[in-house]
Amino acid sequence: MGNVVGNGTYRAGGETVRKFLCKECGRTFNSRTGTPHEGLRTDAGRIDAALDLISDGRSVKEASEESGCSQSSIRRWMADGGCISAGGCTGMKDRPLPDSDLPKSLMYLPDKVAKCIRGMVSAYIAEVGLKPYHLPVIMEVGCHPHMSQRDLGTRLPIDKSRISTIIKELISRDILVNESSGKMWSLALTEKGEGMYESCRDISRRTFSELLDDFDRTDLDKLGEYAARIDRRIDALYKGSSEEGDRRRTCEIRITNTV
| 117 and 85 together in one domain | no
| 84 and 120 together in one domain | no
CATH number at residue 197: 1.10.10.10
| 54 and 83 together in one domain | yes
| 74 and 150 together in one domain | no
Q: Which of 211, 227, 242 is the last residue of a domain?
A: 211
Identify whether 230 is part of a domain: no
| 124 and 170 together in one domain | yes
- What total of structural domains would you count in the chain? 2
Buried b (16+ CB within 10 A) or exposed e, 79-101: ebbbbbbbeebeebeeeeeeeee
Whole-number Å distance between alpha carbons of 78 and 250 = 42
Identify whether 243 is part of a domain: no
pLDDT (average), residues 65-81 = 76
| 10 and 62 together in one domain | yes
Say if residue 6's pLDDT is above 80: yes
**What one-character DSSP code corresponds to residue 96?**
B
Identify whether 157 is part of a domain: yes
Identify whether 237 is part of a domain: no
Identify whether 80 is part of a domain: yes
Q: What phi, psi does 215 have (nearest 5°)? A: -95, 135
Identify whether 181 is part of a domain: yes
| 205 and 122 together in one domain | yes
Identify whether 102 is part of a domain: no
pLDDT digits (tens, 9 = 90+) for 131-148: 888 999 999 999 998 888
| 139 and 87 together in one domain | no
| Strands in the chain per DSSP E | 4-12, 15-22, 28-30, 176-178, 187-189
Residue 151 and residue 142 in contact, taking contact as beta carbons nearer than 8 Å: no
Identify whether 239 is part of a domain: no
Give percent of the chain above pLDDT 70. 74
Q: Which of 211, 235, 250 is the last residue of a domain?
A: 211
Whole-number Å distance between alpha carbons of 56 and 100 = 22
Question: For the ranges 138-147, 205-214, 217-226, 247-256, which has the lowest average pLDDT?
Answer: 247-256
27: containing domain: 4-93
| 74 and 149 together in one domain | no
| 10 and 78 together in one domain | yes
pLDDT digits (tens, 9 = 90+) for 23-47: 777 778 777 676 655 666 666 677 7
pLDDT digits (tens, 9 = 90+) for 185-211: 889 999 999 999 999 999 888 888 888
pTM, 2 dp: 0.51
